[in-house]
Structure 1
Amino acid sequence: MAVLHRATGPVTDGASPVPALGPVTRGSVVRVGIATLISAVCGYLVLYLAARDLEPAGFSVFAVFWGAFGLLAGAANGLLQESTREVREVAQAGAARYPTGPRIRPIRVAVLVGLASAATVAVTAPLWSSHVFVESRWLSVGLLAAGIAGFCVHATLLGVLAGVNRWSQYGALIVGDAIGRVAVAITTFLVGWALVGYLWATVAGSMAWLILLLASPASRAAARLLTPGTVGTFLRGATHSIAAAGASAILVMGFPVLLKATSADLGAAGGVVILAVTLTRAPLLVPLTAMQGNLIAYFVDQREARLRALLMPTLVVIGLGALAVAIAGLAGPWLLTAAFGPQYQASGTLLAWLTAAAIAIALLTLTGAAAVAAALHRAYAAGWVGATLASTLLLLLPLDLATRTVVALMCGPLVGIGVHLVALRKGAPSVSV
């Protein structure tokens, strides 16, 4: 049975010890950063191929499925957050803090959660699928169910790897997911599978975790780690993270679904707005999403000064965001039409405002990571849920599609940031595992 020791880090059944736990280093950030860059390029390539291969109206259909899977996968990232915190807290405290009592293996819990999630999608599909999926309805439902089952294990393995500083394997898993998607998308573009092929491409990377486990002994050792508590205690902590991650996913990956739900008909204009939103937020949100493990591990290590620890990443986000706003406003319209065709036209003003809105969501992501690290699960969930509700209400304003999109994405996140900062200022409660 896996036991956790302060001196050597977690040890697994018959496996060599995982390296001793240390702080999150610049080297680890660089490794994950490179993996994130590769993932972002692959993501852009999938969107590029889909937008070039499909008309704007067809692209909006694909984008809704892309968003639906992103919404569920984003919610599953709550498992990443909870497993990172659990494993790192225990590794820091050492085995002496948890000498007896029940223990669980997070990966096994993830398998159960994945199967339950897939069953829920399949059973409830008759209630909602006709309102969300315009074409290839039942194929979309089947792919969504299978994809989320695999991604639950993917997210939990990322969390365990982050908890024990296995950053090379963490990055490899991110890259494997991205390469799986782009490989199917390229094949679709060349062979002419059209919409159906891009639906398959969306979920193609959700089994990358299995390849990593087969290829990497270090990853298999990490997957065998145990944490104190029962399945129930783990899921109680994960439930808040999943709820908050689900709310964040609505604003990030699932925004096309939210836009569809609050609009009578998206059509070609909706395809242009969705593509503009996706492209302007990716430079900030793709790296932050991929580096959730780094961020949570960093904030766990800075338990005595989490508000102060927020300062540096906040300045980095604002600085990079300001640069992105300038580029989007000046060169965005030309880049959009040059890359995706003359049918995709948006003003520089719209692209600049959408990029500024991405800064607000990026800052909410940072404060959320700090809240998770402090075990402020309720405040974390309340912040993201509040931001999502505020954005949803703002999308109902009697404004044109582009304007209400900017207003919703700019103002909604401010609610969540306020909730997180107030909770962090009051301080984390004592954590019992």
Structure 2
Amino acid sequence: MSSAHDAAGVAAGPVARGSVARVGIATAIAAVCGYGVMYLAARRLEPVGFSVFAVFWGAFGLVTGAANGLLQEATREVRSASLRPASHGPADALGPPPGPRTRPVVVAAGVGLAAATLLAGTSALWAPHVFAQARPLSVALLSAGLAGFCMHATLLGMLAGTGRWSHYGSLMVTDAVTRVLLATAAFVFGWGLAGFLWATVAGSLAWLLLLAVSPAARTAAGLPTRRRVSDFLRGAAHSVAAAGASAILVMGFPVLLKATSGELGARGGVVILAVTLTRAPLLVPMTALQGNLIAYFVDHRNSRLRALLVPAAIIVSVGAVGVVAAYLLGPWILRTAFGPDYVTTGALLAWLTAAAVSIALLTLTGAAAVAAALHRAYSIGWVGATMAAAALLTLPLELETRTVVALLCGPMVGIAVHLAALSRAD
């Protein structure tokens, strides 16, 4: 019987262009929906109100970004098992695999409940420094949304590990569409800030809908891995730490900016929107393709450094086009789409796009480190990058300048750590 099927339920072949295309289409839809939520919030709320919403959006991105560590560990575990030597036999006729077994979705339920309880229980310590308005609602939605997203992320990881890319993409799209639909309702009916807060977390229950309508998703969700719960949690802890650090630089950057700058005001709202718009074309796909990337690097486990070259070249090429476009068209797009209050320079938008390339490359090297089970190097790289960025944000420079310096230079620390570890492993 196939050990691949023991763990995965399907034979996971090489990551093909078709799988990337399916996830790519889902990513494009998710990106459009994300832009839609930001656009509706920016149009309905003044820059000061938008900065409040953006901090919550960033806080939710921070905690759910950390939960993506469960996605990474579930993908690696299932995908690695699928590549072990195996004999042939019908997948559905197998008995339980020998040795210890862990069901990642069960572990995720416990982790989600514990994380939500911890978040709510400690809110008196951190919420006054993060949420300027609607504090009780923000804490409640953040905690409940995190619990749901732990299940969401783990199911994504199981689907990626078993090669069910259509279901993977469907879950992404359901999440994104749910958000933009509720944001549209908030815009039309004038629900104000609270409506957009609800819209931010609405997609956290998309996994329930997919499990309800898809037998294949239920099969993937019920699969065990061949590790003890303690071993799975140990690996997931490193991934969560690194994913949390990455989330600070990506989705949670408005929180970091506020923590190092004090009151952001209208100027901060413009900078946050500029950062969000310039990084989304690169970082939304990179985040969405984590399952594909980890599976790709697991498949190329004997030459991971060489395997980095092609995706890195694609990132740099796309980024170069983005830098030019941001410089030439960015200010006009920002002013036309979001209104006359959102004004900045082409140079700032171009530099912020270059900074997005730096973070995208760090995301790429991090995926290679996860695939190689270099959990310690993975977490050290991301934590080091985040600490470097936070330190650079304290420089006595203009808000725009130190934002660019932090986002451009901080990730280089993590890239160096990941490449050093990968070179030793290879």
TM-score bracket for the superposition, by shorter chain length: over 0.9
Q: Give the 3-state SS of the residue equivalent to 1:119 in structure 2.
A: helix
**3-state DSSP class of the match of 2:416?**
helix
Q: Give the whole-Å Cα distance in 1 for the aligned partners of 2:258 and 2:326.
A: 25
The answer for the alignment partner of 2:263 in structure 1 is: 265
Q: How far does residue 4 in structure 1 lie from its aligned partner after superposition?
A: 5.8
Stretches of structure 2 lacking an aligned partner (at least 5 in a row)? 88-95
Where does residue 242 of structure 1 map in the other structure?
A: 240
For residue 203 of structure 2, give the secondary structure of its aligned residue in structure 1. coil
- 1:44 pairs with one of 11, 35, 40: 35
Residues 84-108 of structure 1: per-residue CA shift (max 9 Å, x gap): 0001111111578x96321011010
Q: Deviations over 1:226-248 (max 9, x none)?
A: 10122111100000000000000
Query: Partners of 2:401 and 2:85 in 1: how far apart?
Result: 52
| Structure 2 counterpart of 1:133 | 131
1:54 maps to which residue?
A: 45
Deviations 1:173-230 (A, max 9, x none): 0001101100100000000001000000000000000000000000000011010122
The count of aligned residue pairs is: 418
Equivalent residue for 2:92?
A: none
Out of 85, 101, 104, the residue aligned to residue 76 of structure 2 is: 85
Q: Could you tell which deviates more after superposition, 226-235 or 48-57?
A: 226-235
The match for 1:399 is 397
Aligned twin of 1:289: 287
1:164-183 correspondence runs (5 A) = 164-183=162-181
Q: Which amino acid aligns with 1:396?
A: T
- 1:162 pairs, out of 145, 160, 163, with 160
Deviation at 1:10, TM superposition (A): 4.2
In 2, the alpha carbon distance for the partners of 1:95 and 1:202 equals: 44
- Deviations, residues 410-431 of structure 1 (Å, cap 9, x unaligned): 0000000000000000006xxx
Separation in structure 1 between the aligned mates of residue 98 and residue 360 of structure 2, nearest angstrom: 40
Which of residues 398, 419, 430 in structure 1 aligns to 2:417?
419
Q: Which amino acid aligns with 2:382?
A: W
Aligned match of 1:339 = 337
Match of 1:112 among 107, 110, 113: 110
Contact 1:4 1:11 in 2 (8 A): no
Residue equivalent to 2:91: none
**Mapped pair 1:24 → 2:15:** yes
Partner-residue secondary structure (3-state), 1:116 = helix
Q: For residues 288-335 of structure 1, what are the alpha-carbon distances to aligned partners after superposition, in whole Å with 9 as ceiling and x for unaligned?
A: 000000000000000000000000000000000000000000000000
Identity of aligned residues (%): 67
Q: Normalising to structure 1: TM-score of the pair?
A: 0.95
Distance 1:99 1:171, change over 3 A: closer
Q: Quick one: distance in 1 between partners of 2:76 and 2:59?
A: 27
Query: AA paired with 2:387?
Result: L
Q: Which residue of structure 2 lines up, in the alignment, with residue 410 of structure 1?
A: 408
CA distance in 1, matches of 2:41, 2:47: 10
Q: For structure 1, which runs of at least 5 residues remain unmatched after alignment?
A: 13-17, 429-433
Distance (Å, rounded) in 2 between the aligned partners of 1:113 and 1:137:
24
**SS of residue matched to 1:160:** helix
Alignment equivalent of 2:203, drawn from 199, 202, 205: 205
- C-alpha displacement of 1:19: 3.6
Question: Does the 8 Å contact 2:385/2:412 carry over to 1?
Answer: yes
Q: Deviations over 1:53-82 (max 9, x none)?
A: 000000000000000000000000000000
Distance (whole Å) between structure 2 residues aligned to residue 197 and residue 302 of structure 1: 45
1:5 Cα offset (Å): 2.9
Distance in 2, matches of 1:53 and 1:406, equals 28
* Matches of 1:351 and 1:132, distance apart in 2: 26
Which residue matches 2:93?
A: none
Would the aligned equivalents of 1:129 and 1:141 in 2 still touch at CA under 8 Å? yes
Which shows bigger deviation, 227-236 or 159-168?
A: 227-236
CA pair 352-260 structure 1, distance change in 2 beyond 3 A: same
Structure 2: distance between partners of 1:195 and 1:69: 15
Instruction: Note the alpha carbon deviations across 1:5-54, whole angstroms, 9 max, x for none.
Output: 34xx3478xxxxx4422000000000000000000000000000000000
Letter in 2 for 1:60: S
Q: Deviation per CA, 1:225-272, whole angstroms, max 9, x where unpaired?
A: 010122111100000000000000000000000000001210000000
**Aligned equivalent of 1:431:** none
Q: Verify: 1:311 aligned to 2:302, yes or no.
A: no
- Secondary structure at the aligned position of 2:11 is classed as coil
2:177 is paired with a residue of what secondary structure?
helix
Q: 1:206 to 1:294 in 2, by over 3 A?
A: same
